[in-house]
Structure 1
């Protein structure tokens, strides 16, 4: 697949490709873009095609192009969809713009309330590549984009002529010709010398109209609160108040305002602000007119029909216009849903005999589907009453439930179809994964026996554990036997799964026990295991240790033989080799494809991910300790590998789950996603003592290190130099400067020699080195071993000889430049040699896949600012087989960027994996002032 990128080029969309452009529309052009080249920014000429805004809207609306859109083009598609949404909601006004002496009729977006917030968020998220032609500020580029897309969308949607009558001629009034130009192919509005005052007056009036539409963007806004009626009445209260835009907790009811009480944060005349806001709001919700007839309005009373109108129609309009709206907690939720009940076709209680007989995905079960409103079942008569009354608000057992017309129609169809009968197990699982319909979601599942165990999302606790196979050379822990039972159960069904156990809980052992179990049962078919290159030896050795009865073939390197692929029980290969040898791998009838460290395929658009998905197999298994590192799209990608198509297309998943959960924190969507994926994902954590009670504690602590005077002077010099560069740059160049500044500051915090690369002595010049030396001496004196992680290979190369000389103990050094054989030798020595020692490791080369339980100390000398990455590295020691408490120390230089970023991560700990991302790029989006505060050197930094 060819990757296509997009750049905004002076009013047109420029398309360019990483290789030759595929067949796309547009006018050929050569653009000179500022792009990264050899870790630096440089002007690069690219062959491109330029599209008008109307052509761009068509291209960006294509959900399934025969080429792969880059991240920048996907961003532009989001902006285009947002512009179309503004049109659908009527959030635009006609205008008259002037540029270079020419006048044009244009449709302009109105951005108030939530739309203004969305604009700021879109500007902050803009990829630098979108503006790599000149690199103007993101806000300016986004304004141009929205103006162009909104105008193009409006012209496409509106009729050829807004007003009937004669077409205006050259002597017609300017206003008539402007009106005509709003829908014409040519937006130009011409005027004679005598008509210029008329043209200027028209533009002044239109600009005033546009400004008036944005009046709601004030520090204090009018807020409406809808209060549901008491159980014995049908009277809804719509209360009025003033609310701070920046601090919504500042909420002052109208009766307090009319009482004359002074409230800090409100305008000098809050009564005038309230009346003015109500005067604007009455145009969006006419029933407010009655309240405005009073001298001091505080509320208006509504019947149920009017309350529904407010909920469904007025409230969104008021919010979009910048007003505050507070609704009951149930408002906006899809309260009508389906309940699926299945019963096994078995005479034994609970259908347990079925599991003993063996199951298959074609096995039939009885099913019925009921309609639910909350926890209450809704009958057909109730639904027809709702349809007849045409007021989709119903009080069920004292609780109000809201429907919309589409839900109601879907519910009536479901009732009329008498949804009951027989269904296969595969169909049941598909129904659960699909989650029902968007208008009518699946809200509950009631199944008996083993199917109920599986669908409960707690299958490993409720399915009968499979005992450790006799040929398995080891003993599975109870939770691992339950995992084996779950894996074996899915395999018999022909269903894929995700084993997402925490790092160190033995995903490798559980997978190997599954293969041994199948061999003992006589149902062996070849399994292909795809993993990172660093894990090939680990898998081979673990197979030799636990499953010597399996025929294992490693398909990697120059000696690989395609003839052996179909003859082995287990074929181990790498992601890179799978891509290169895809044709040969597709020619084998695999029983199973396993992806280890499956986060490697979290991006479904990469060639590596597509290659693995293209290998046919009866079932698929994904192994990962981090099924979601940043975004829910990664979970979709891994699930789509394990069970292709089960969660639907990526676009549907994004609309139904990802956007509601990530953007709106929708609890209903989160519960629905958990229900949909629960049967296919098994996740256990080391910290859960019900899973593993004999794993020792992990003690995490910060080690605060001062800077030496030399480090402080270098640090300040870097800040002064880099802030000047950052302040005078924009776009990709600015982002590159920010990343360069962070790298240099972290190198200073490590050691002056790390930054200067001058080969100078190390002793006495770094607070971190001094503390590391002290800790290392204490560790080896106590007879212990330690892992020391650094993200910089050059720093590790400085540390290794220094520590070896001062400790008089072995200091091993593992980095990406070592051969596989040398890596294996180092790991084996560290694990088997009883002598106390230090193991220096490059974070990228050794952060995953290694078993280093001989260490009971872990030190992160310099931080890779992502908790998930650090935890993965720590789990090289904190995993099954570790008999002692593990002490984890994270070095932080006081008063520097390290301390401030650490504070940011701690404040966002719950969302750190998604907010921070896998690297440090998130920091490049901070403003220059925020960066200045982040980089600033505190006097307390110097020890």
Structure 2
């Protein structure tokens, strides 16, 4: 459900683990965690693995709960992600239960001395540094002592002589020197970088003339793919190669990072630029580009990427996404090495890729296969195409099957479009994209950070950007300095992102940094005063909510009553739109028990089922995709069936939200929502118009009076609100269309096409009522010039995506965005949460860093309800 999934995700980010997950926790926990000490352990089994340790090095620890030889197994990786060995059994037996139960927040390990030269050791000592929340420290200390291990604490003399003095965030001279050394390394990133001149795509494939910024972007993309330079933080030393961050030395030359993050602002034509990349830099082509150094001198370079036959197809293209399979080739047209690009995108964005192919490429010049819905799974068939399009959901569904061709193929390139959807590293779709095999990898998103900087870790894991694709290294080198408010944290992140990403902003006609000369976009906030009856009802509900949540917070039971928390926030937001959207009695929403138990309370189960129907586009908090079968747990949390069942296969099965023990008998199947593409069952006719609906109606009438043909998009997160507005606006003489998450991909495409058309003999629709999520990514709505956001979303990036469906290349009119906010309500406080998130996202690519990244958890609930 769209209005709830962000809070679900934020609380889920406190949880980490599962099969083969690196032993560390999301960023929010680090700012409250303390290094309580270290234990000394041996890395064993070195003879059986190819990974080496050649100096004083950081190493990664990965829990293996499904290891067939030892359920407590903890494997050790070097900074090249190659296994070195395992932590010895006696130590793993003590640490594994603490890690599985989340009593320990995180562990980090370092090998303080290199192995003896001239011989291969059977074991190698390391120090394992242990982090925990303050309340858990006594439990951890007792467990380690009972397990026969010695915990060296900061009070011990040996602690000051060990590597822990560097790991610990203290003010010691050694720690300061170590931090300065790492900061100096990051400061060098990009100092020797070179700019890229514009590059033209082949005219026999790309029909459209690119804008200058797109040609520059194409040059950058091609250069990233063809460069043979050493990866960042590596240098040649004594005939070998040294990683200056981790001190890892190897004789093998590290592979260059062929890819990166394409993070141009939304609406700058990233899809066309990527199609140009596919057409330009393919096997058998010779690509010339010019490098421009910092002082303006240039040198031409030519790259030839193999020698391979490219077969053209003369199949007719179709525009319907459900039928489209541009240029299917017979399986006899095989290729000997990869030429195929895989594009993974949300379902709603498939129509955009198909439309862009139709608009910008010469028919038959690229062979395209749509791997979606009914699909053929022959590897040879897919490899005979230049481009395969699929969705995150399709990929996640095939993730568990070893027979999926998506997993078998080693692709020439994989492009993740709208890649911010993989920000949850625990989700099925994230794990699926990380496992894809590819020579070149691209992350494409205008909003790389949506909630916090930890969103970036999943992107690093997909890019295979070592050592940052290993969680231990990401946490130590980037995340922990950020979370602890270190001035160097954001600087490190900026340096890192500058080295692997391209980010340009649109600007406007009047702006000095205009790239494409778009008309201006203005964003206004229209504050709405509730009618007296609405205000009375709102104040009553908020007072009851505040009292209940204060009890939960004081008793530290907010996660045990999280469905109630979501209900309260949902209803307070709905009442700001229209009291008809929610029940007037908040007490009917509240749990009578201190712990919500669906198995003991059928009314609670019914309540959750109704909540699912009230919202729009609900996503499972684990896979972040709409669930095919929605499961409500005994503890009143909501997941899709496949995700929660996989969670229960872990060593200590429990709810990812509240950590309550779970078994399959504690799962309940939610009733399927009764929704339809065309015939909503909810009837709002005859109801009085609310203050917010009246404000929106007046704005639309004013716009119509100024110019009758002006088209507007009205975004809301509540499907019922869209249905209500449909009735009100139709009665006021507006021709409306509705686009929401209940609709099939085909139906959505039809709605967008109808809204964009101007048929002379048919009533022209001037208002599109759209779900923020269904039309918030990959949709082109430049036919409109007015955007209305009926309510705020606590993720500002989602709102920006919605606005930029209208303000993008192809827009010829000034765009006006109006946000409707009820004064002195939960909506005003959500704006404060948005501003907090914008600071981090803005500081990521800008020169000025945000002073501190705030936690976005219970503090946000306090803010929203003035607690």
Shorter-chain TM range is 0.5 to 0.7
Q: What is the CA–CA distance in structure 2 between the aligned matches of 1:446 and 1:784, rounded to whole Å?
A: 46
Contact kept? 1:54, 1:152, Cα under 8 Å: no
Distance 1:624 1:912, change over 3 A: closer
2:754 alignment counterpart: 829
1:716 aligns with 2:539: yes
Cα distance change on mapping 1:913 and 1:78 into 2, 3 Å = farther
Q: Structure 1 residues 440 and 858 mapped into 2: Cα distance closer, same or farther (>3 Å)? A: closer
Q: CA deviation at 1:463?
A: 1.4
Q: Which residues of 2 match residues 277-426 of structure 1 at below 5 A?
A: 332=176, 334=178
Corresponding residue for residue 218 of structure 1? none
Q: Given that residues 520 and 815 in structure 2 are in contact (C-alpha distance below 8 angstroms), is that contact kept between their aligned partners in structure 1? A: yes
Partner residue in 2 for 1:58: 95
Query: Secondary structure, in 3 states, of the residue corresponding to 1:592?
Result: strand
Q: Secondary structure of 1:639's partner?
A: helix
Distance 1:873 1:152 in 2: 51
Question: Hey, what does 2:466 align to over in structure 1?
Answer: 645
Quick check: 723-732 or 872-881, which moved more? 723-732
- 2:643: which partner in 1? none
Q: What secondary structure does 1:441 align onto?
A: helix
Task: Report the CA distance between 1:765 and its aligned residue.
Answer: 3.9
Point out 4+ residue stretches in structure 1 off by more than 6 angstroms.
19-26, 53-56, 79-82, 155-160, 312-317, 912-916
Which stretches in structure 1 are left out of the alignment for 5+ residues? 7-16, 27-52, 63-68, 85-114, 123-141, 163-182, 184-212, 214-282, 285-308, 338-437, 935-943
**CA deviation map 1:459-503 (0-9, x unaligned):** 5xx212112421311111111101101111222237122111111
1:775 aligns with 2:699: yes
* Matching residue of 1:792: 718
Check conservation: 2:460, 2:468, Cα contact below 8 A.
yes
Report the CA distance between 1:727 and its aligned residue. 4.5
Give the secondary-structure state (helix, strand or coil) at the position aligned to 2:484: helix
In structure 2, relative to structure 1, the CA distance for the partners of 1:840 and 1:820 (3 Å cut) is same
Matches within 5 A, 1:477-492: 477-492=211-226
Aligned with residue 505 of structure 2, among 679, 685, 691: 685
Give me the whole-angstrom Cα distance separating, in 1, the residues matched to 2:500 and 2:522.
33
SS in 2 for 1:818: coil
Aligned with 1:77: secondary structure?
Answer: coil
Partners of 1:336 and 1:720 in 2: CA distance:
50
Task: Tell me, in whole angstroms, the C-alpha distance in 1 between the residues paired with 2:714 and 2:267.
Answer: 19
| Equivalent in the alignment of 1:106 | none
Q: CA deviation at 1:638?
A: 1.1
Change (3 A) 1:561 1:602: same
CA deviations on 1:168-226 (whole Å, 9 max, x unpaired) are xxxxxxxxxxxxxxx9xxxxxxxxxxxxxxxxxxxxxxxxxxxxx9xxxxxxxxxxxxx
Q: Could you say which residue in structure 2 is the equivalent of 1:881?
A: 810
Aligned counterparts of 1:331 and 1:59: Cα–Cα separation in 2 = 29
1:733–1:159 CA distance, 2 compared to 1 (3 A)? closer
Q: Which residue of 2 aligns with 1:444?
A: 188
Query: Is the 1:697–1:886 contact (alpha carbons within 8 Å) kept by the matching residues of 2?
Result: yes
Retained in 1: the 8 A contact 2:412–2:440? yes
SS in 1 for 2:773: helix
Distance 2:149 2:409 in 1: 56
- Residue 430 of structure 2 is aligned to residue 609 of structure 1: yes
Q: Is 1:696 aligned to residue 440 of structure 2?
A: no
Kindly report which structure 2 residues correspond to 1:35-184, keeping only aligned pairs within 5 A, or say none. 58-59=95-96, 76-78=103-105, 143=135, 145-153=136-144
Q: Residue 552 in 1 paired to residue 365 in 2?
A: no
Using CA pairs under 8 Å that are at least 6 residues apart, name the structure with larger relative contact order, 1 or 2: 2
Deviations 1:422-465 (A, max 9, x none): xxxxxxxxxxxxxxxx5983643698xxxx4xxx2xx5xx2121
1:464 aligned to 197, 205, 225, which one?
197
Deviation of 1:510 (Å): 0.4
Query: As a proportion of its length, which structure holds more helix?
Result: 1
Q: 2:734 aligns with which of 809, 814, 820?
A: 809
How far did residue 786 of structure 1 move? Answer: 0.9
Q: Within 2, Cα distance between the matches of 1:797 and 1:147?
A: 55
* CA-to-aligned-CA distance 1:904-936 (integer Å, 9 cap, x gap): 5446741489999xxx994644687x66536xx
Structure 2 distance, partners of 1:897, 1:653, is 35
Distance 1:854 1:591, change over 3 A: same
How far is the alpha carbon of 1:844 from its aligned partner? 2.0
What CA distance in whole angstroms lies between the structure 2 residues aligned with 1:889 and 1:313? Answer: 53
User: Would the alpha carbon gap of residues 706 and 615 (structure 1) be closer, same or farther in structure 2, given more than 3 Å must change?
Assistant: same
CA radius of gyration, larger in: 1
Partners of 2:752 and 2:426 in 1: CA distance: 35
Gaps of 5+ in 2: 1-16, 24-62, 73-89, 111-129, 228-255, 287-306, 311-338, 584-613, 615-681, 845-849
Please point out which of 404, 407, 421 is paired with 1:586: 407
Aligned pairs for 1:221-300 within 5 A: none
SS of alignment partner, residue 188 of structure 2:
strand
> Are the equivalent residues in 2 in contact too, given 1:853–1:878 (CA < 8 A)?
yes
Instruction: Give, in whole Å, the separation in 1 of the partners of 2:436 and 2:454.
Output: 22
CA distance change for structure 1 residues 701 and 573 in 2, over 3 Å: closer, same or farther?
A: same
Change (3 A) 1:734 1:922: farther
Higher alpha-carbon deviation: 825-834 or 469-478: 825-834
CA distance in 2, matches of 1:764, 1:844: 28
* Whole-angstrom CA distance in 2 between matches of 1:805 and 1:159: 76
The answer to whether 1:933 aligns with 2:866 is yes
**Which of 601, 619, 630 is the equivalent residue of 2:440?**
619
| 8 Å contact from structure 2 (residues 414, 441) kept in 1 | yes
Q: What TM-score, normalized by structure 1, do the two folds share?
A: 0.53
Residues 333 and 708 of structure 1, relative CA distance in 2, 3 Å threshold? farther
Partner residue, 1:539: 353
Superposition deviation, residue 793 in structure 1? 0.8
For the structure 1 residues 706 and 607, does the alpha-carbon distance in structure 2 shift closer, same or farther, using more than 3 Å as the test?
same
Change (3 A) 1:609 1:159: closer
Distance 1:674 1:313, change over 3 A: closer
Preserved CA contact (<8 Å) 2:829 2:864: no
Superposition RMSD in Å: 4.5
Structure 1 equivalent of residue 325 of structure 2: none
1:568 aligns with 2:385: yes
Task: Select which of 200, 205, 210 maps to 1:476.
Answer: 210
Cα pair distance change 1:880/1:76, threshold 3 Å: farther
SS at structure 2 position matched to 1:332: helix
2:574 corresponds to: 747
Distance in 1 of aligned mates of 2:265 and 2:150: 59
What CA distance in whole angstroms lies between the structure 2 residues aligned with 1:555 and 1:646? 33
Q: Between Structure 1 and Structure 2, how many residues are aligned?
A: 565
CA distance in 1, matches of 2:526, 2:190: 52
